[in-house]
Amino acid sequence: MRLEGEAGLVGHITRKHAGKIAGAVLLGLVAAVAGLAQPVFIGQLIATVENSAPLAWPIVIVLLLFAAEATLSALQAYAMGRTGESIVYQTRTVLVDRVLGADYRAFGKHRIGDISSRIIADTAMLRIALSQSLSSIVVDTAMVLGGAVLMFLIDPLLLGITLGCLAVASVLSLVLARRLKVVATQQRTIMGDFGADLHRAISALATVKSSGAEDFEKDRIGKLAFAARRSGIRVSALGALLAPAMGIGMQVSLAVVIVTGMSRVATGSLSAASLTAFIMYLFYLVSPLITLFMAIGQLQQGRAAIGRISELADIEQEAEVRSPVYSVDTVNLSEQSHDEVRFERASFSHGDTPALRNVSFTAPGRGLTAIVGPSGSGKTTLLQLLMRFYPLEDGRILIGGQDINTIPVRELRKLVGYVQQESTALRGTIADNLLYGQSGASDSELERALALSGLEPVVRRLPKGLNTELGESGAGLSGGERQRLAVARTLLRRPSVLLLDEATSNLDSESELMLRNTVTQIARECTVISVAHRLSTIVDADRIVVMDAGEVRAMGTHEQLLQDSPLYQRLTSIQFGGPSGRAETVSGQNCAVGSLRGSLPLV
């Protein structure tokens, strides 16, 4: 779904509530009629006093009109406010859905703080524009036009004087409203920048503190805050000028009408009751006119927010199936015992920078295949392409003979589990983190995942066990414990392919050994792809693929590559300090390794 045009998503959702909006506006119009009738009956009340007639019924009618206007206005405000909240709610939920379903590359072009600002702050501005401005414009316009007609019926000359005084003020107000839209758009953009940079600094607070960059961030974010303040003042200034512009016009017209009207009453060409009714209408027009132009100003600010909302709603979405060539039977796919993961001339670039060039190799369903290469050789990119975070530019990737582009993306990610180098733990309990996206797991499955990941001893020593609360980004656990938590969470899904992107980078030697044993055990049941800093985790692999600069340079066992591959010899020498590759001390600073093994389902 792509929603084009300035209104875009907001217009699409608002049209669904057209009936409710029309009902609320109708209540406002009826309230306006009750208000417009009041000067007529007040004029009659004055005439009744002049004629010494009974006052009971004229007073009752006027009081009923007051009550009707107040009640209907309150109902209209409630109905419009409720509808506005519904529109904002639906807009926010659709935006969240669009962001979560966005193409990974398209999402990377947006700053997270700016996305949050659009979903929260811009939709709040939308609520003001819809629940206040839209109804006010319709109702107040009707009241102004109705009042003008009735004033014309009372005295066309006085109406002409009134309109002449108000015309100049109205033109000035419209000019201010147009300028307000431009300034409001600039303000929303600045607020998006402010939110994005603030999020960046807060999310990297440990780095900020360790780098002693607090003052730098305060200064940089402070400048954005000042720019936001300055733009906000400009918006406030223009908005503040709207009411006085109309107010001055009303005051001038009132003075002229009173002077002219009194002179006509003195000559007998206009009755006192008619002049009273006309002046009351003029007073009645003060509030609607000012509110009308204030509403136009608010609507202009709302349009600035609507443009940003629609732009985010149009973010490119992830394709469920990129190449619908074959039918997919995921159950049979996950139950095959000798599936292969195969890369066929896979090529990919990050922008103008090539990341992979014609990468071809086969990872057999049984046995361990490792992918080795220095930093920047394309190891993580291979995993991300297998997850379909990015589209291949050329070539194919197959699982069990099935092109991954023919598999619906959600089904593919049920088959493939992914543990990143910096795995994210969420605020909440350990149990919440483990069951994230897998709420139906049984106790036995939970215990198995804890045991396989090595997280069981950690949970056992915590006073509240699985109910232990974690802070933001998993605060309360060490880096290695958060990594094991991520592994356990992925294992709980029972994937057919498990991707471990440098999963041992945050582990100590004992934890690394435990994870190596875990990987060995899991590799008997499913495909395991593990990218690691430490070559010690893959020296026993059945096959190792050596990569450099996005290309495959050599393939073979550890012993074969020590004999035949100068690059592999250099990598092992850097890490192990000797040609044998069997030393226990591992630094792992300049290379990483990936391992890939058979694709049986976890059982």
Quick one: pLDDT at residue 600? 36
Decide: 173 and 218 in contact? Cβ < 8 Å: no
216 has a pLDDT exceeding 50: yes
Class of domain 8-313: mainly alpha
Question: How far is residue 324's CA from residue 328's CA, in Å, rounded to a whole number?
Answer: 9
Quick one: pLDDT at residue 325? 47
Q: Cα separations (Å) of 21 from 35, 81, 142, 384, 455?
A: 21, 10, 16, 47, 55
State mean pLDDT over 564-592.
Answer: 61
Question: How far is residue 49's CA from residue 553's CA, in Å, rounded to a whole number?
Answer: 106
User: Of the candidates 171, 145, 173, which has an alpha carbon nearest to the alpha carbon of residue 159?
Assistant: 145
Residue 403 confidence class, pLDDT cut points 50, 70, 90: very high
Instruction: Give the CA-trace dihedral at 160, 165, 170, 171, to 10 degrees.
Output: 100
328 has a pLDDT exceeding 60: no
Q: What is the pLDDT of residues 23-49, one digit of tens each?
A: 888 888 888 888 878 777 776 777 677
DSSP string, 519-548: HHHHTTTSEEEEEES-GGGTTT-SEEEEEE
Quick one: pLDDT at residue 2? 47
3-state secondary structure 4-27: CCCCHHHHHHHHHCHHHHHHHHHH
Q: What is the pLDDT of residues 381-401, one digit of tens each?
A: 888 899 898 888 899 999 888
208 has a pLDDT exceeding 70: no
State mean pLDDT over 470-485.
Answer: 73
Question: How far is residue 482's CA from residue 445's CA, in Å, rounded to a whole number?
Answer: 19
Compute φ and ψ for 541, nearest 5 degrees. Answer: -65, 150
Quick one: pLDDT at residue 121? 80
C-beta neighbour count of 395 within 10 angstroms: 17
Question: How far is residue 213's CA from residue 197's CA, in Å, rounded to a whole number?
Answer: 14
7 has a pLDDT exceeding 70: no
User: Of the candidates 58, 33, 54, which has an alpha carbon nearest to the alpha carbon of residue 44?
Assistant: 58
State mean pLDDT over 89-110.
Answer: 86
Residue 347 confidence class, pLDDT cut points 50, 70, 90: very high
C-beta neighbour count of 86 within 10 angstroms: 16
211 has a pLDDT exceeding 80: no
Express as a percent the part of the chain with pLDDT over 70: 80
368-374/591-597 β-pairing: antiparallel
Decide: 274 and 43 in contact? Cβ < 8 Å: yes
Mean pLDDT (the chain, rounded): 77
Decide: 300 and 177 in contact? Cβ < 8 Å: yes
204 has a pLDDT exceeding 70: no
> Which residues are paired to 347 by β-bridges?
394
Residue with token string 């804890």? 450
Quick one: pLDDT at residue 588? 38
Decide: 28 and 76 in contact? Cβ < 8 Å: yes
Q: Where are the beta strands (DSSP E) in 351-440?
A: 353-363, 368-374, 394-399, 402-403, 416-419, 428-429
281 has a pLDDT exceeding 80: no
Length of the chain: 603
Q: What is the pLDDT of residues 507-546, one digit of tens each?
A: 667 767 777 777 777 777 777 777 766 777 777 777 888 8
Decide: 293 and 242 in contact? Cβ < 8 Å: yes
Quick one: pLDDT at residue 39? 73
Quick one: pLDDT at residue 577? 62
254 has a pLDDT exceeding 50: yes
68 has a pLDDT exceeding 80: yes
Which token pair is 506?
A: 């945050």
84 has a pLDDT exceeding 50: yes
Residue with token string 């006509």? 264
Question: How far is residue 539's CA from residue 184's CA, in Å, rounded to a whole number?
Answer: 61
The reply to whether CATH 2.60.40.10 applies to domain 330-425+494-597 is: no
Q: Cα separations (Å) of 268 from 115, 274, 276?
A: 68, 11, 14
State mean pLDDT over 466-471.
Answer: 79
Amino acid identity, position 537? T
Quick one: pLDDT at residue 276? 78
User: Of the candidates 423, 419, 480, 437, which has an alpha carbon nearest to the alpha carbon of residue 455?
Assistant: 480
Quick one: pLDDT at residue 367? 65
Decide: 83 and 131 in contact? Cβ < 8 Å: yes
Q: Which of 77-81, 188-192, 204-208, 552-556 has the highest mean pLDDT?
A: 552-556
User: Of the candidates 486, 479, 402, which has an alpha carbon nearest to the alpha carbon of residue 449?
Assistant: 486
Q: What is the pLDDT of residues 421-458, one digit of tens each?
A: 776 677 778 888 888 777 777 888 888 888 887 788 88
Q: Is 348 in a helix, a strand, or coil?
A: strand
Q: Cα separations (Å) of 227 from 184, 213, 222, 234, 596?
A: 13, 21, 9, 11, 52
Q: Is 498 in a helix, a strand, or coil?
A: strand
Identify which has the larger pLDDT, 559 or 508: 559
Decide: 445 and 524 in contact? Cβ < 8 Å: no
Question: How far is residue 167's CA from residue 190's CA, in Å, rounded to a whole number?
Answer: 35
Q: For the chain, how long is the longest CA-to-CA vector?
A: 122
- Lowest-confidence region among 287-296, 391-400, 409-418, 560-569: 287-296
User: Of the candidates 544, 546, 547, which has an alpha carbon nearest to the alpha carbon of residue 558?
Assistant: 544
Q: Is 370 in a helix, a strand, or coil?
A: strand
State mean pLDDT over 225-230.
Answer: 82
- pTM (two decimals): 0.70
Quick one: pLDDT at residue 396? 92
Domain-wise residue ranges, the chain: 8-313, 330-425+494-597
Which token pair is 80?
A: 């419009």
3-state secondary structure 542-597: CEEEEEECCEEEEEECHHHHHHHCHHHHHHHHHHHCCCCCCCCCCCCCCEEEEEEE
Quick one: pLDDT at residue 206? 58
Decide: 310 and 8 in contact? Cβ < 8 Å: yes
How many Cα atoms sit within 13 Å of 415 on the Cβ side? 28
Residue 298 confidence class, pLDDT cut points 50, 70, 90: confident
Write out the H or E segment, with its range, that includes residue 238.
Answer: helix 214-267
Quick one: pLDDT at residue 345? 92
Quick one: pLDDT at residue 437? 75
Decide: 239 and 294 in contact? Cβ < 8 Å: yes
Decide: 599 and 369 in contact? Cβ < 8 Å: no
